[in-house]
């Protein structure tokens, strides 16, 4: 035992020495760096060599098959000055196969209804009564500019079917026609109307992508306007902070490709990103009503919060940062990170990882709505 401890101490000392020598060593010249190794600038910028990323051993077969199916698919690009109506129609067409798959696996009844002057969809489980004295508000994704139809269906149907919940999906105002805080105001109007029928703790709010960010913005907004918090919220495919130059914004751009990397200094964002950013034109990205994760005093008033992201998603960094900040603020909640999965992977009804997420979402609201 003594010999073993002595050997371990020598190994530890050797490792400490190697670290110290590395820290004191002068920087290597470019020609001395082995091929395939990253290089580091003095400002911390890392030059990453090209590499092949295989499927993760922890992914389901179905998730792997989805990545394999992307072989040969052209990258999505949007030309300059394309009419927003055409962009929205194109998004609906792209997601129509996913919508059909969701409707097949998770059938539900859908009806249109206007609440407090705001258009909504009422989604209820097919063939059975919804859970009494509970209601969920869904805030659809789409970059605050599109996807009011497809994303609403993809996010609402599985939760209504699996959990038996009545889900009200809010068709909130978006850019480029409208500006922040129009969407928050619409959701608040619907929430205020539901408070006439439900107790605050009987209501849950959730969304994916823009809808996830909006869920956080609503949770920041309500106490500021003397309204009680709902029983719980869900931030999926997003974080409680505006996208910035985070690790995942760059990494996901090159291993997933759903979104481009942040523009280089002095360069303009792509047309797609310009469209998605239009809603926040003129808004301060650090405003606590825009990015509450940067303000612990605001986060401390949040209800229990579930955060979902993926290891190949551009929202991984915002999601992880948000969860860390929630822990600091003393807010109970959970973080789910899908291995090898990209942005809003819960849209893929036939993937086991998505099905696991639906079950976790339902369980989370069952635990926290009262």
Choose among 96, 106, 208: nearest CA to 149: 96
Where helices occur in the chain by DSSP H, the ranges are: 2-24, 61-68, 84-105, 150-163, 182-194, 210-224, 247-255, 271-277, 296-299, 316-328, 352-368
Split into its structural domains, the chain has a count of 1
pTM of the predicted model as reported, rounded to 2 decimal places: 0.90
Q: 127 to each of 124, 181, 301, how far by Cα in Å?
A: 9, 38, 38
pLDDT score of 322: 98
**Residue 30 banded pLDDT, cuts 50, 70, 90:** low
Owner of token pair 């599109």: 146
- Residue 270 structural domain: 84-368
Q: Which two tokens stand for residue 202?
A: 């009987």
Domain assignment present for 13: no
Q: Which three-class secondary structure state does DSSP give residue 362? A: helix
pLDDT tens, position by position, 214-230: 999 999 999 999 999 99
Residue 147 belongs to some domain of the structure: yes
Does 93 reside within a domain? Answer: yes
Counts for the chain of helices (H) and strands (E), in that order: 11, 10
Buried b (16+ CB within 10 A) or exposed e, 342-359: bbbbbbbbbbebbbebbe
- Tens digit of pLDDT for each residue in 304-317? 999 999 999 999 99
User: Which CATH number characterizes residue 211's domain?
Assistant: 3.40.50.1820
On whether residue 12 sits in a domain, the answer given is no
pLDDT of 132-164, one tens digit each? 999 999 999 999 999 999 999 999 999 999 999
Q: Evaluate whether residue 168 is within a structural domain.
A: yes
């Amino acid at each position: 035992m003594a010999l073993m401890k002595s050997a371990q101490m020598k190994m530890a000392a050797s490792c400490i020495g190697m670290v110290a020598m590395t820290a004191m060593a002068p920087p290597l010249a470019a020609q001395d760096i082995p091929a395939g190794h990253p290089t580091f600038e003095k400002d911390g910028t890392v030059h990453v060599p090209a590499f092949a990323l295989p499927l993760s051993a922890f992914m389901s077969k179905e998730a792997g098959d989805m990545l394999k199916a992307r072989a040969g698919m052209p990258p999505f690009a949007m030309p300059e000055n394309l009419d927003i109506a055409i962009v929205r129609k194109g998004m609906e067409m792209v997601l129509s196969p996913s919508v059909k798959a969701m409707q097949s696996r998770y059938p539900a009844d859908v009806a249109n209804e206007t609440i407090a002057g705001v258009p909504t969809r009422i989604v209820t489980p097919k063939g059975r009564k919804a859970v009494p004295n509970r209601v969920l508000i869904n805030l659809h994704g789409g970059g605050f500019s599109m996807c009011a139809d497809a994303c609403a269906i993809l996010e609402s149907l599985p939760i209504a079917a699996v959990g038996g919940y009545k889900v009200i999906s809010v068709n909130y105002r978006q850019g480029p026609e409208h500006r922040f805080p129009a969407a928050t105001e619409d959701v608040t109007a619907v929430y205020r109307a539901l408070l006439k029928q439900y107790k605050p703790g009987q209501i849950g709010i959730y969304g994916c992508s823009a809808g996830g960010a909006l869920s956080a913005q609503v949770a920041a907004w309500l106490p500021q306007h003397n309204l009680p918090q709902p029983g719980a919220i869900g931030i999926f495919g997003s974080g409680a902070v505006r996208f910035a130059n985070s690790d995942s914004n760059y990494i996901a751009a090159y291993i997933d490709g759903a979104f481009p990397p942040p523009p280089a200094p002095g360069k303009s964002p792509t047309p797609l990103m310009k469209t998605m950013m239009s809603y926040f034109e003129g808004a301060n990205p650090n405003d606590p009503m825009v990015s509450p994760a940067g303000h612990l005093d605001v986060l401390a008033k949040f209800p229990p919060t579930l955060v979902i992201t993926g290891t190949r998603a551009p929202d991984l960094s915002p999601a992880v940062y948000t969860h860390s900040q929630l822990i600091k603020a003393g807010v109970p909640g959970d973080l789910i990170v899908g291995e090898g999965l990209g942005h809003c992977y819960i849209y893929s009804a036939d993937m086991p990882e998505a099905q696991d997420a639906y079950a976790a979402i339902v369980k989370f609201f069952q635990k926290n709505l009262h």
